[in-house]
A and B are shown apart, each in its own frame.
Chain A
């Protein structure tokens, strides 16, 4: 037996009001200009691993991989400071990949491994279309492990793969296309019901005894008939969060599951159904351990922590859809592979050093202590989860950015250590000396086809 050991989630700070694009009510979550699927996955993964937990395998699922060739999971792994001995895999091509990754991770957990699954997406649709209005950006993460550690044990699952032209996109195109929705609804709908029944039967669980039902699909119509077909009370179906954040691709089924786990009680039975190019159905039973396990940040806290006045042209500019005049500054330079490799622990995991003789912290890590001069007498220290405070700051109106002004703070870390950090998810007018900050993993810019990842600081969320 195996189950969910921990989980974590991440929803970006910005929301686009659907009203701003003439698309009805509610809002969608928007990854900032410096975020992508890898950085969203890292933020969710950090939440799931907080407090330290070793894993054997990482599975990363996204339909919006930052690199088409080059393992994005390796970026996630390095930023989470996981050892290189961790096997990393990437699932893509369908928004069901998030749920499939959990199913696959549970199989590996069954075989004795501890597995981290990160699923995330930056859902981009053509301007004026449904994906743009109804999509969202987020990340979610699950640590899957043995029954003995589980807060929610897997009691049954089933899957089906269907070759069908419903939602698709060729690599050369930016935006997905879709067939008439009723076609998949009528063709796939019965398969969804069958597969779900199969999972419930494997679990020995009656639909009526389910406490929470998570339904997620690339084509929501395929799920419409499921509750009635199985006799599930509508009240048991979890809020799909589409009004507050939109449907966040690969992350979405997991994100709704996480919101359910945030309030689940021991003994609760949870059904998760994820549809796209087929279906994954998973049945969990919540254990006593959910009371004692470390709690991640609740999904609702991420939903509530937001800025929802994003202008539509800004959104289009951030996604690279709307061309704009660049600042009259040199273009950012592509970082160099050998230097990135030498400094990988610093760049990706935000690992600095601390002098063993005088305890002075160094960011980036140094060989010679700036305070006492000791040479090669340092130990590594990760500052990614250390909070810091603003000592002085500036707003740089001249520096290259998709969101000027660039806000920079000299940040002093708790326990010693200082770094001049770029701030993000911040209102430039609100920054002041003494503000508390937390670190966040971001994509600073892309130059000559190279994504430049590093850490920034943000006001506590």
Chain B
């Protein structure tokens, strides 16, 4: 058995999330303080009550000191971790297991990234010393590889596919326009999206997630203690993670229309949560829409759409904010940008609001199960996280 899971054993009892955007006037420590304070308040706890911390950041700082120094946490365990773009989710997963183990009563998972100080557009990631043969492809380029492959395999003409991808961006921007914490809060017309300057392959600027700063935090405890802290806790049904062997980089069998890592982690999560028909049972999802083709392929990898059919579901509005299975109701990476360490927890923050009925104009009627999906790497070589949460 791949993983036994911790269904209904751990609860989220408080969350915080900063507005995402270009915080020229704030450092990572400011963002951490804001997210943590909002989370403490939301769970009605004093900082002294929290026993241990998991801090996710890809490159905005090093070690647990980044958090303990900013928050002046006195002599408690702080783990700093990194798992590429799934870093924020990874902080949550490890914190949840620590609680489930009984080692701690109350813990915090917190993620932060400060991308706007680099001076570059897009992600600027430092490599370990290398031999000079590593790919120079930027992130949008690696994900744009999905588009021609999908178009060819499922016989979707490129101009139709361009409309499908634009429809995904249009939807996520529409959702983001209703979210006070999003970086971009304006609807964008299909025309503007389709005619934007090119970035990579079929992708224009609006097919790419923004670049922003932000932080988000969650406070977790064992399920039986949840009501000590809040009347409306949410419960973890599944936490799944898969790191691939990079098969797609080597094997000609991989065809760039799927993420095997996502398929595996989704299957694992559904098994843990007892979900057998994700298309019907998952009320809503926050997925890793780093680039529009990613979201398209994810719909199939997670079983929301049959193979080769997601493009039709997208055009039919199935995943719209008011559709039968809303995807990225908060606006997604498209509207929030993608401060690496924070994004996974920002996704969970939307689940927290939606399941508690606090999502305001974006509120989904009567959600039962929410899914978050976080992906790091590139098609053929990635890590994938899937969680399922509910009441």
Contact = CB atoms under 8 A, between A and B. Distances in A.
Interface of A: 328-330, 332-333, 335-336, 338-340, 342-343, 346-347, 360-364, 366, 370-371, 391-401, 405-406, 408, 410, 412, 416-418, 420, 422, 433, 444, 452-454
B136 A340 contact: no
Interface string B143-177: 01110110010000000000000000000000000
Contacts of B41: none
Given A391-B256, A420-B249, A339 B137 contact: no
Contacts of B137: 394, 396, 399, 406, 408, 420
Contacts of A405: 198, 200
Contacts of B199: 397-398
B132 A394 contact: no
B138 interface: yes
Given A333-B130, A398-B141, 10 more contacts: A328-B119, A328-B120, A335-B129, A340-B132, A391-B252, A391-B256, A392-B146, A393-B201, A398-B138, A406-B136
Given A330-B120, A398-B200, A454-B132, A392 B145 contact: yes
B131 A398 contact: no
A370 B138 contact: no
Interface of B: 118-122, 124, 126-127, 129-133, 135-138, 140-142, 144-146, 148-149, 152, 197-201, 245-247, 249-252, 254-256, 380
Given A333-B127, A343-B131, A392 B256 contact: yes
B55 to A, nearest CB: 25
7 contacts: A339-B130, A370-B250, A399-B137, A406-B137, A408-B137, A418-B252, A454-B132
Nearest to B132: A335
B200 A370 contact: no
A271 to B, nearest CB: 44
Residue in A328, A329, A405 with the greatest tally of chain B CB atoms within 10 Å? A329
Contacts of B254: 418
Contact of B131 (A329, A342, A418): A342
Nearest to B124: A330
Contacts of A391: 149, 252, 255-256
Contacts of B247: 370-371
A408 B118 CA distance: 26
A406 B250 CA distance: 21
A333 B133 CA distance: 11
A405 B127 CA distance: 22
Interface class of chain B by DSSP: loop
Nearest to A362: B250
Contacts of B141: 394-396, 398-399, 406, 408
Nearest to B197: A397
Contacts of B200: 394-398, 405
Contacts of B126: 330, 333
A459 B137 CA distance: 19
Contact of A395 (B118, B142, B201): B201
Nearest to A413: B252
| Nearest 3 Cβ contacts at the A-B interface | A335-B132, A336-B129, A396-B141
A104 B118 CA distance: 55
B161 to A, nearest CB: 13
Which of A343, A394, A399 has the most CB atoms of chain B within a 10 A radius of its CB? Answer: A394
A391 B152 CA distance: 10
A339 B132 CA distance: 9
B130 A335 contact: yes
B248 to A, nearest CB: 8
Which of B119, B142, B148 gathers the greatest number of chain A CB atoms within 10 Å? B148
B198 A397 contact: yes
Given A329-B124, A392-B256, A397-B198, A420 B144 contact: no
Contact of B144 (A339, A394, A444, A454): A394
Given A328-B119, A329-B120, A392 B129 contact: no
Contacts of B252: 391, 412, 416-418
Given A329-B122, A339-B131, A362-B250, A398 B140 contact: yes
Given A335-B131, A452-B132, A393 B251 contact: no
Contacts of A371: 247, 250-251
Contact of A394 (B118, B145, B250, B380): B145
B136 A400 contact: yes
A86 B247 CA distance: 37
B131 A399 contact: no
B285 to A, nearest CB: 26
Contacts of B131: 335-336, 339-340, 342-343, 346-347
Contacts of B250: 360-363, 366, 370-371, 417-418
B349 to A, nearest CB: 29
A433 B135 contact: no
Nearest to A455: B133
B130 A370 contact: no
Given A328-B120, A418-B250, A343 B138 contact: no
Most buried by B among A364, A392, A406, A408: A392
Nearest to A352: B250
A151 to B, nearest CB: 37
Contacts of A340: 131-132
B132 A418 contact: no
Contact of B138 (A360, A364, A396, A454): A396
Given A342-B131, A370-B245, A394-B201, A410 B256 contact: yes
B145 A343 contact: no
A370 B254 CA distance: 12
Contacts of A347: 131-133
Nearest to B250: A370
Contacts of B135: 408, 420, 422
